[in-house]
Structure 1
Amino acid sequence: MLRSHRCGQQPMNQGTHSEELPAEVLDYVAYVLGAEVTVLGRLPGGVNGGATRVQVAGRANAVLKAVPLAHPDHLDETLRARRVVEHMRKRGYPTPAWLGVGATATHAWHLMDFVDAAPAPELTPSLVEQLMEIIELRAGQASEPYDHWSYAWRVATGRESTVAGLDVDETPGQALLRRSVARLSGYSSVVSALVERLRLVCADVPPPRDAPDMVHADLSTPGNVLVRDGAVVAVVDIGNAGSGTRAIDLTTLAWYTFRDPLLDDVRGRLWTRILDLVGGEGAAVLTAAQILHMLEIPIRDGRRDVVPGVVKRGHRALDELNALRQLEF
C-alpha cells in the first residue's frame, strides 16, 4: 500500500542533494514502511536527486530518491507526481510503481520499484521511434491541474499569465526558473541576440487554452529512459509530470537528436508530429521554451564553455522549424 507521512514543519533546506543518502531519511523511510531498509548502492543518473538502490525486508529491491525540500509545498508536488504515476500505469504507461512517499524535516522522498535495466547510453533512431510511441500513450490523459503548456508559453513570450487573462497556479519552482530565464539577455550579446530572436518568433502567439495530455516535462533523454536489449522498458524521473500537450516532450526529444547526425532523419519525423499536434505557432513556443531552458542551465551553473554550443543548436533548431513552417503555407 502507498503511504505518505510528513514530519512537523521546520525550516526548508535550499541546498543541493548530497551524494550520500541522509541517515535520517533512510530511518524515516523504514519507519513509514514498517520494515528494515538496507542501502545496496547508488544508481547511475540522478542529477537532480540521488537514486539509491535499496532492499526492503521481505520485499524485492526498490529505488529510493530523496531531494532537499525547496519550499513548503514540495511534498504536495511529490504526492501529485504519485497520482500521475498511478493514473498512467493503469493505462499501460511504462513507469515504475511508487511504493511510498513522504518527507522528513529536510527532504522529500519517494520509493519505487526497481527496474532491472540501464539508462540509455545514447539515443538511437530505434529508441526515438519507441519513445514517440510511448509518448502517444499520454494523449488525453491529463489528470492533474499542473499545466506545462501555459507555462511554456509564459517562458517563451516573457509575458505574465495575468496579462494574458490566464488563471494559472504557478509552482515556486516554475516561478524561480522563469525569473532566471528572464535574466538571460544580460549574459552576453550573443545570448541576447538569440533570446531576442525567440521572443520575436513568439510575440504574437496567443496563450493556449487547454491542456489535454499527460506531460513528463523532464524527458532528459537518454538519462531518464531505461533500456534492456535495445528496448525501452521504463521512463523514470516523473516527479515534474503534469498536464499540457504531449508535443512538449516530443520537442525535448527533438532537441537531444541534434547530438548525432544519424538522428537527423528521425528528427524530421518529430518535427512533423509536433506540427501536427500544435501547429506552427505552438511549435515555435515549445521550441523557444526548450532553448531558453537549455540556456539557463549552463549559465546558472557557470559552465561558460557549454553556452556557445547551446546558442548554435538553438539557432539551428529555429532554422529547421521555420523552414518546415514555410511549407505549411
Structure 2
Amino acid sequence: MNQGTHPEGPLAEVLDDVAGAVGAEVTLLGRLPGGVNGGATRVQLAGSAAAVLKAVPRAHPNHLDETLRAQRVVEHMRRRGYPTPAWLGVGATATHVWQLMDFVDAAAASELTPSLVEQLMEIIELQAGQASEPYDHWSYAWRVATAQDPASTGLDLNETREQSRLRRSMARLPGYSSEVSDLVERLRLVCADAPPPRDAPDMVHADLATPSNILVRDGAVVAVVDVGNAGSGTRAIDLTNLVWYTFRDPLLDDVRRRLWTRILDLVGLDGAAVLTAAHVLHMLEIPVRDGRHDVVPGVVKRGHRALDELNALRWSRA
C-alpha cells in the first residue's frame, strides 16, 4: 500500500467515514505487522499524528454495538493506568466496522519471554475489580467447561453470537476422533462438580497471550492492544491463557509455576479447572474448525499436560 493512495471500494468508504467522524483527511501510510484477526493499517490524520485503523467486515447486526462496548472498556481502563492506546473513534459503513486508535511507536512482540510474562502478570493486576461491561467471560467459561445448557443455568446470559457459535462447535468436538473425545471427557470430569461463578468483578482482556497484541520497546511492555473481545469476569482468565502459551518453551516453565500459583489464589482449584478446560476446548476448536489436522495432536498433548500439572497441584494442596 503506497503512501498517499486512496483505494476504491469498501476501504475507500471506510476512509471517508473515518474522515467524517474525526473531521480530518485520512491518508493511508501502510499495513502494520500482526493483526491476525482483522489487520491494522497506519494512517495519517491531517494536522495530527499518525494513528492506527482497523476495519473488519460486518459479521452480524450487533457488531458495531460490540465494538462500542470495547471502546468503553478502553476508556474505563485507561483512566486507571492500563497501558492500552486511546481510541479516537468508532464507526461503521454498510459493509465494515472500524476503530481508530493512537499509534504507539513500538514493536509487536515476536514471542513471550519470561520477562514479558512477568510484566504481563503485573499489568493483569490492574484489571482487578475493574469490570465495567456486562459481558461475562467467567460465566461463559463455566458453561463451556461443563457443557451446561444456558437455558438451564439460571444465569443472566449476555453471550455474543460468536460465543454461542463457539459453544455449539465445541459440543461437536468428541466426534472428531477418539483422542479428542478422551481429552474432552477428561476435561468434563475435572469440572463436573465446579459451581457456577458468583460474580465477575475484574476486567478481562481475553487475548493477552497473543504476542502480536503486546507492544514492546527496549524489552518493556509499553502497550497491550486488540481489546475488541474485552469484558468482565476474573483476571485469572488472562493468566490461564498465559499458562497455555508457556508450554511452548521450556524457558517459561518457572514463570508458569508462578502463574498457576496466582490462578489458584484467585479462583481455587475448581475455578482453575474450569478456566483450563474452557481454554483447552477453545484451542481444540480452532484447528478442528479450520481443518488443520496436523495441529490437533499437539493440542491434545498439551491439554493433557495442563491437566496433569493441575492435578499435581491439587494433590500438593490437599
TM-score w.r.t. the length of structure 1 is 0.92
Are 1:308 and 2:302 an aligned pair? no
Are 1:222 and 2:211 an aligned pair? yes
Are 1:188 and 2:138 an aligned pair? no
Tell me, yes or no, if the aligned pair for 1:119 and 1:222 is still in contact at 8 Å: yes
Distance in 2 (alpha carbons) for counterparts of 1:212 and 1:167: 15
Quote how far apart the aligned CAs of 1:274 are. 0.2
Of residues 43, 62, 81 in structure 2, which corresponds to 1:92?
Answer: 81
Question: What does residue range 52-131 of structure 1 map to in structure 2 within 5 Å?
Answer: 52-131=41-120
Quote how far apart the aligned CAs of 1:21 are. 7.4
Of residues 212, 221, 226 in structure 1, which corresponds to 2:201?
Answer: 212
- Secondary structure (helix, strand or coil) at the match of 2:51 reads strand
Distance in 2 (alpha carbons) for counterparts of 1:108 and 1:90: 25
Quote how far apart the aligned CAs of 1:258 are. 0.6
- Aligned twin of 2:316: 327
Of residues 228, 248, 260 in structure 2, which corresponds to 1:271?
Answer: 260
- Aligned twin of 2:271: 282
Tell me, yes or no, if the aligned pair for 1:80 and 1:144 is still in contact at 8 Å: yes
Question: What does residue range 254-265 of structure 1 map to in structure 2 within 5 Å?
Answer: 254-265=243-254
Distance in 1 (alpha carbons) for counterparts of 2:74 and 2:164: 24
- Aligned twin of 1:12: none
- Aligned twin of 1:299: 288
Runs of 4+ in structure 1 displaced over 4 angstroms? none
Tell me, yes or no, if the aligned pair for 1:21 and 1:50 is still in contact at 8 Å: no
Letter in 2 for 1:268: R
Quote how far apart the aligned CAs of 1:223 are. 1.6
Aligned residues: 310
Quote how far apart the aligned CAs of 1:201 are. 0.7
Q: Which has the higher helix share?
A: 2
Using the aligned pairs only, state the percent identity. 82
- Aligned twin of 1:9: none
Letter in 2 for 1:39: L
Tell me, yes or no, if the aligned pair for 1:216 and 1:238 is still in contact at 8 Å: yes
1:26-76 Cα shifts (integer Å, max 9, x gaps): 221112222111111111111111100000111100000011111111100
Distance in 2 (alpha carbons) for counterparts of 1:114 and 1:288: 36
Distance in 1 (alpha carbons) for counterparts of 2:264 and 2:160: 28
Tell me, yes or no, if the aligned pair for 2:42 and 2:52 is still in contact at 8 Å: yes
Distance in 2 (alpha carbons) for counterparts of 1:142 and 1:112: 22
Distance in 1 (alpha carbons) for counterparts of 2:190 and 2:230: 27
1:192-249 Cα shifts (integer Å, max 9, x gaps): 1111110111111111010000000122421211101100000000011000000000
Are 1:238 and 2:227 an aligned pair? yes
Letter in 2 for 1:213: D
Quote how far apart the aligned CAs of 1:298 are. 0.9
- Aligned twin of 1:176: 165
Tell me, yes or no, if the aligned pair for 1:145 and 1:243 is still in contact at 8 Å: yes
Tell me, yes or no, if the aligned pair for 1:252 and 1:290 is still in contact at 8 Å: yes
TM-score w.r.t. the length of structure 2 is 0.96
Of residues 185, 191, 199 in structure 2, which corresponds to 1:202?
Answer: 191
Tell me, yes or no, if the aligned pair for 1:212 and 1:244 is still in contact at 8 Å: yes
Letter in 2 for 1:304: H
Of residues 140, 159, 165 in structure 1, which corresponds to 2:148?
Answer: 159
Quote how far apart the aligned CAs of 1:114 are. 0.3
Letter in 2 for 1:180: S
- Aligned twin of 2:4: none
1:299-324 Cα shifts (integer Å, max 9, x gaps): 11111111111111000011001101
- Secondary structure (helix, strand or coil) at the match of 1:115 reads coil
Are 1:29 and 2:44 an aligned pair? no
- Secondary structure (helix, strand or coil) at the match of 1:22 reads helix
Distance in 1 (alpha carbons) for counterparts of 2:56 and 2:313: 41
- Secondary structure (helix, strand or coil) at the match of 1:327 reads helix
Tell me, yes or no, if the aligned pair for 2:209 and 2:241 is still in contact at 8 Å: yes
Letter in 2 for 1:319: D
